[in-house]
Amino acid sequence: MAQTDFNADMLRLARSARELTQADLAAASGVTQALISKIENKLTISPGSDVVQALASALRFPVPFFYQTEKTHGFPHFHHRKRAKLGAKPLARIHAAINIGRQHVAKLYGSYERQVLRPIPMFDLDERALTPAAAALKMREYWMLPRGPIDNLTEVVEAAGGIVVQSDFGTSHMDGLSFRVEGLPPLFFLNNRVPGDRYRFTLAHELGHMLFHHLPEDDALMERQADEFAAAFLMPAQEIRPYLGRASLSQLGRAKPYWKVSIKSLIRRSHDLKMMTDHQYKMLNIAYNKEGYASGEPHPLAVEKPGTLSAMVKHHIEALGYSSEEMADLLLMDEAEFNSAYVGRPKLAVVSSR
């Protein structure tokens, strides 16, 4: 393989993926921290092959990984649902996971063709004079979804060309994110640590971003619009109303398995649809927290399984005849890691630090 310049961004990415500090990497690789710092800051542009080999071994990435001409995409370009207490280190790890995952998808997508009848469009709410809730109903019509709950949201998104990737974010403080990059369909990265109901709401929320938010706007507004879209897409007002009458935890607990949304979402929806007073909303939330549902609701839902990524891997192996070694070469990853990440149960465990 003809090697070009060493890509310092890839070193930083690999280090974040393994959750190593520069000092950790120095200890693991035998390369001085000073040199690692200079490489990452592009003061040393062409490290020697022995140095690169040592770093690659310590980081468990093949040497060609560090000579890719790829650029990393930063968080400001994506839409993501995260909690305020997400620290810098796990954020860097997720950043690495997403970038590596995006590279994998791009490489696999190049030889994988599929027809999408009704792709995920982009439109401007203001231009069309639509609220997010109205847009949600339009999208249900566009994708010809039956009335009532959406049985499998992941299938809907993937049938519309989106690629849903489940990944271990290493934290439960971020639920998911989405973005569009040139040459690829919309990508949705979902944290596989979140429960099934939250997974669905996050996916619907991210779908809202992909539909409406192509240019940076006020963050709070974008989040509000994505939430409103998600709520209306999963729980259309007219159809959910009969299930929210005399809202109580027991009533909403029984509605949860049918609508496949959390009790929390049902409480919120009930309030947003003005089916309960502010006081009732407050009391129900207190009861919800008192029952400990914030850390785990009853009637847990299974997390939906995406199929496109595994279909792409399967296509390469079965139709194109790739061996696992060739697949690992293609994706610039360790073969054992490829097998554990993609062959057993396709998911992007590539960022596993251990």
Partner 1 sequence: MNTDQNRCMEALAPVLLEAHECWHRAMETYQSYPPLALAQHDDRAAASSLHAHMWMELQAAFAETAGVALLEVRGLHLMNVGDKVVCRFKKVDQGGNSVTHPSQQQEDFDRQLSIPGLPQAATRLTFGYQPDAAFSAIERVLVSCQMGKTILWCAQVNNVEAAAVWEDITPRRLEGTGRVIAYKERKTGSRDGSN
- State the residues that interact with partner 1 by CB under 8 A: 242-243, 245-246, 248-259, 263, 287, 291, 293, 297-299
Q: Are residues 305 and 37 in contact, defined by beta-carbon separation less than 8 angstroms? A: no
Pick the closer one to partner 1 by CB: 251 or 324: 251
Per DSSP bridges, beta strands 187-191 and 79-82 are unpaired
Query: In angstroms, what is the minimal distance from the CB of 140 to partner 1?
Result: 19
Pick the closer one to partner 1 by CB: 263 or 333: 263
Query: In angstroms, what is the minimal distance from the CB of 257 to partner 1?
Result: 4
Query: In angstroms, what is the minimal distance from the CB of 242 to partner 1?
Result: 8
The runs of H, that is alpha helices, within the chain are 8-17, 22-29, 33-40, 49-59, 88-109, 132-142, 153-159, 196-212, 219-234, 237-244, 249-259, 263-272, 278-290, 308-314, 324-331, 335-338
Distances (CA, A) of 199 to 149, 177, 236, 316: 15, 11, 18, 28
Pick the closer one to partner 1 by CB: 209 or 256: 256
C-alpha gyration radius of the chain: 22
What residues are paired with 81 via a beta bridge?
A: 176
Query: In angstroms, what is the minimal distance from the CB of 132 to partner 1?
Result: 25
Query: In angstroms, what is the minimal distance from the CB of 251 to partner 1?
Result: 7
The pair phi, psi for residue 214, each rounded to 5°, is: -105, -25
Query: In angstroms, what is the minimal distance from the CB of 248 to partner 1?
Result: 7
Pick the closer one to partner 1 by CB: 246 or 279: 246
Pick the closer one to partner 1 by CB: 74 or 296: 296
Pick the closer one to partner 1 by CB: 87 or 245: 245
Query: In angstroms, what is the minimal distance from the CB of 288 to partner 1?
Result: 8
Query: In angstroms, what is the minimal distance from the CB of 75 to partner 1?
Result: 36
DSSP characters over 111-139: T-----SS------TTTTT--HHHHHHHH
Q: Are residues 154 and 304 in contact, defined by beta-carbon separation less than 8 angstroms? A: yes
- Where is 179: in which H helix or E strand? strand 174-179
Pick the closer one to partner 1 by CB: 66 or 243: 243
Per DSSP bridges, beta strands 163-167 and 187-191 are parallel
Pick the closer one to partner 1 by CB: 125 or 237: 237
- Where is 194: in which H helix or E strand? none
The pair phi, psi for residue 117, each rounded to 5°, is: -75, -45
Query: In angstroms, what is the minimal distance from the CB of 243 to partner 1?
Result: 5
DSSP at 277: -
Pick the closer one to partner 1 by CB: 248 or 323: 248
Pick the closer one to partner 1 by CB: 276 or 327: 276
C-alpha to C-alpha distance for 93 and 353, rounded to whole angstroms: 9
Interior angle at CA 124, CA 161 and CA 265, nearest 5: 70
Query: In angstroms, what is the minimal distance from the CB of 231 to partner 1?
Result: 17
What residues are paired with 179 via a beta bridge?
A: 187
Q: Are residues 341 and 348 in contact, defined by beta-carbon separation less than 8 angstroms? A: yes
